[in-house]
Chain A
């Protein structure tokens, strides 16, 4: 499970000076649940997921995965998660089999255990035809399959998907979403970030809407619909973002 409390991240930039990418967000994601992070570009979704995957360090606040703190126990956290992102590419000069084997060994799996697990994953994802294909020769869909296979090779309890269907055609995207659903059925805790409403609507049990590093709303889709009296998720999203932007303007004018 994932606990996030008052998570804050600031960057220093030549153009904008110091800016806040995440401004003290809180959320919890439970096993057997897909938790959706929804927000426009620059909302802070990727920053939050990078912190949870221990690639970035938070400026302040607390984030734990299965009880392990991302700042104090990064090594343990990495064993608990599988991370798939648009930024986590696969190696061009390695075959699908080699890539997944490499990461399996890094996770400390024994050769026998790894062989059995890899055979099962290659069968399940129907990847046997690309077993010996180099990353550079794979299509985008194939690459995404390999990425997911790489992320679940060590059977982690928590999976983090950052815009996992971005740039995929509709057939492959559908297949990826089905895979994520299957993983939920296995009791995994899944954090899923996207800006595609239909995907979030279809997959997520809980949703958090982010804008400019702030968490605007959190709950199940039906809860959010009731709370904001807006049955359509897309319309709800637009209203929340628009209201937030409007409220920010007087503050900016004062600053």
Chain B
């Protein structure tokens, strides 16, 4: 790659974008105008945000005592109200209503509270409408603060509130009145205590005094650390997207892309030059937004109230905070620019490119929101999550927690770099793909599409079919999983497991193999296999089981299970304990998944993935889908590694039968350990297992290491013995041979290049 070409393309694209009025407006002008305009709107709207008066319709006001007074005239006693709302709580009392409702309120005076009858409810509602009241209050007792009659009925005097929960104004009126009632009750209690010559402070034996020890700078940093990373990430993506669409899809649309493709610039030089341009715009957009937003926000906060901004912790962000933000801008922009380019490079027009923004935002949003959760903290697990790890690190650095952050700088940077690399590689691939570069609008119709599918059927599935099958399985699993009730007993559990496996995993794979391919059995890798290979897979599962147990424990340390997951596990343990025996458990959670999942994943999906002509990539992609299909994140990681071994066996043997054997044994051993627990230590397997805490069974190190070593040798044997001429492998090898012979003859037939 020539960096001079990258630099040339970068400078050209930058100049081109700076001359585009639309990009300039979105990236440079809009941030500068947007926030002042929003500030003006906020100041304008703030006048409508004042507190509104509320109205109370009070029946039985005569029953209220004179001291301590709840009512003074037609107003609530001002001493009982917050000074801000003293004039906002109007009370309407009416002697005529009192006499009219006398018969109605009497039953409330000395009877046990009953649900208000529908008739009374209707009357009160009508009265509230008539009086334009937000809250109706009934004081049924002639003297609500006198000691209640304990001879029968209720021990408590009562005041009844009727509010309309569907109306915000009514809810506000109720809250205001309840606050006043609280203070009034405290006054009553105080006077009663004094009457009995008791100290009113007996009610509050301990006074709680709360002091915030955080410095103003720390308070400010804590606030900014939550807000700024999110803003910066959103603007990095937005700032990257429009230039990315213009530089990729826009160029294709304008016809200048073909000019560039026929120039000496290589595809990777073009991709990197464009990526750097998008990154520059992303950084500038974020910076301008931050500056404009910060400046406008500060002005608005100071205008809204002198005490408001400091009270909310808003102030000028600390200098260190700004410094970390500037430093973090580079990796965040790099990642989002690469991702935006990856999406935009696939689009054939600017319009199509813009459609991809929303899905991209929706995918990124959970990663952006995760660090905002109060419980989220930076550890090895979270540092490996793209975007989230970076944001958590930035948050920690802004808060000054350098000791906690620096150990994870390596994983965070590595994940970000890998993300950028993958996205840029994808862009280069798109720039090399004729179907992406020159595809034109195709009219889509169901009939045409079905005809196309039937016409284009090949012997084996394509990568598109494999990905489609994976997505169908994931979607079906999601819907079925959320719709059915969790099983209560073994019978329900076994039925549900079988139905879910058949309906969501087995059926899509088998149907797609029949409909989309000409040779369904080969597509599902349903071929005979040598017994020695099946036996080897059987043994291999035993040998590698300690390895996966260790991987599981590492994953659990990295990503500890949540309380819900622990509860689910307990429920599952209870269900399994109710099973008729260990063989029933093995049938349901080992053999059935082994057969059905292998048909789908190592059968149809792996066959499709092998059309990309790289066994390694095919195994990795299939294993990723296999991992994701196991909904629990921790389980997904472990199953990814199991999927890699299974994929290797499938590719080498060309059949899923050894994979079924491996899968069944792998799950069965887990079931055995779960069922027999610590008793295994005393049995014939005592040499292999230990139980240090008396509850959890673990593998002993040296015997396990030997087993894993034996497994490695078995794997090598499978590599040697396995026949690589599975239908899919043979097919792509034939194609590869054709390609090689093409290059071979090209080199021999043609004369050598002339010197120029």
Contacts and interface: CB of A to CB of B under 8 A. Distances in A.
Closest 5 CB pairs of A and B: A89-B255, A93-B19, A88-B259, A67-B753, A53-B262
Contacts, number: 107
A57 interface: yes
Interface in B11-48: 12, 15-16, 19-20
Contacts of A75: 264, 266
Nearest to B435: A12
Q: Interface majority SS on B: helix, strand, loop or mixed?
A: helix
Nearest to A57: B434
7 contacts: A3-B750, A56-B434, A66-B756, A78-B262, A89-B255, A103-B263, A107-B264
Nearest to B266: A75
Contacts of A71: 743, 746
Contacts of A206: none
Contacts of B255: 87-89
B452 A14 contact: yes
A72 B264 contact: no
Contacts of B305: none
Given A75-B266, A105-B8, 8 more contacts: A14-B444, A14-B448, A17-B452, A78-B262, A78-B263, A89-B259, A94-B15, A106-B5
Interface in A93-107: 93-94, 98, 102-103, 105-107
What bracket does the count of chain A residues touching chain B fall in? 35 or more
A144 interface: no
B265 interface: yes
B747 interface: yes
B658 to A, nearest CB: 35
Given A66-B756, A73-B753, A17 B263 contact: no
B262 A55 contact: yes
A67 to B, nearest CB: 4
Contact of A55 (B256, B258, B264, B751): B258
A186 B747 CA distance: 31
B443 A89 contact: no
B439 to A, nearest CB: 9
Contacts of B750: 3, 62, 64, 67, 69
Contact of A66 (B258, B266, B753): B753
Interface of B: 4-5, 8, 12, 15-16, 19-20, 254-256, 258-259, 261-266, 434-435, 437-438, 442-444, 448-449, 452, 455-456, 742-743, 746-747, 749-754, 756
B742 A60 contact: yes
Given A67-B754, A72-B743, A92-B254, A108 B442 contact: no
Contacts of A56: 434, 438
Given A15-B448, A72-B743, A105-B8, A55 B19 contact: no
A226 interface: no
A54 interface: yes
A69 to B, nearest CB: 6
Contact of B8 (A57, A80, A83, A106): A106
> Which residue of B20, B265, B448, B753 has the most chain A CB atoms within 10 A of its CB atom?
B753
Contacts of B456: 12, 17-18
A98 to B, nearest CB: 8
